[in-house]
Chain A
Amino acid sequence: GAVVSQHPSRVICKSGTSVKIECRSLDFQATTMFWYRQFPKQSLMLMATSNEGSKATYEQGVEKDKFLINHASLTLSTLTVTSAHPEDSSFYICSARNPIAGVEDTQYFGPGTRLTVL
């Protein structure tokens, strides 16, 4: 249990285009999902916390209008990188909270999406 998927796993796009990344909890309902960014040889940097049915909470320094997050259902959250630029190239990872009773209430991570902006 507690499987999280991401799609696509890799995307290459031109500068100025928008890219949508999907995060799905496959076998549980996730009231809260998280979006992280990870640069090479660095740790995870939390970008935003997404609660189903409400607006995402962004970390300081993360542009809300650039990184649009939608958490429309208990199993799906999307991150859209709008007008992507080369500096947005990174590894984007989502995680989902699994609060099922009897299971450790912690975050389970997706496999990540590697974004390359040319």
Chain B
Amino acid sequence: QKEVEQDPGPLSVPEGAIVSLNCTYSNSAFQYFMWYRQYSRKGPELLMYTYSSGNKEDGRFTAQVDKSSKYISLFIRDSQPSDSATYLCAMAYTNTGNQFYFGTGTSLTVIP
């Protein structure tokens, strides 16, 4: 079983829709949870960084962590064509910046 599971998609939504992206994980020791956005042929860009359970909001993006269910989500409100990218979740045991465990990424297309 992989440490982190993420549905690869692809996911297509109309512009303005609410997008829900999810990852599940098996190891309850993870404490730090990140979401990265990666455009084609580019490096990943940090979107959200959360510690432990709860919600974090930044503009149109909301990250949720449910440690009891070992489930994290990223919501994108009022999705735009520029949101079309691959979204990667990542997790870490500590905040020392050491090994991350990545999901496989979900490919999202927002249709104008």
A-side residues, CB < 8 A to B, are 4, 6, 32, 41-44, 46, 49, 91, 93, 95, 97-99, 104-112, 114
Contact = CB atoms under 8 A, between A and B. Distances in A.
Contacts of B103: 43
Chain A contact surface mostly: strand
Interface residues of B, number: 24
Interface string B92-103: 100111111011
Given A106-B46, A106-B97, A107-B97, A112 B102 contact: no
Contact of B97 (A43, A46, A93, A105): A105
Chain B contact surface mostly: loop
Interface of B: 8, 32, 34, 36, 41-46, 49, 88, 92, 95-100, 102-105, 107
A93 B43 contact: yes
A43 B99 contact: no
Q: Which of B36, B43, B88, B100 has the most A CB atoms < 10 Å from its CB? A: B43
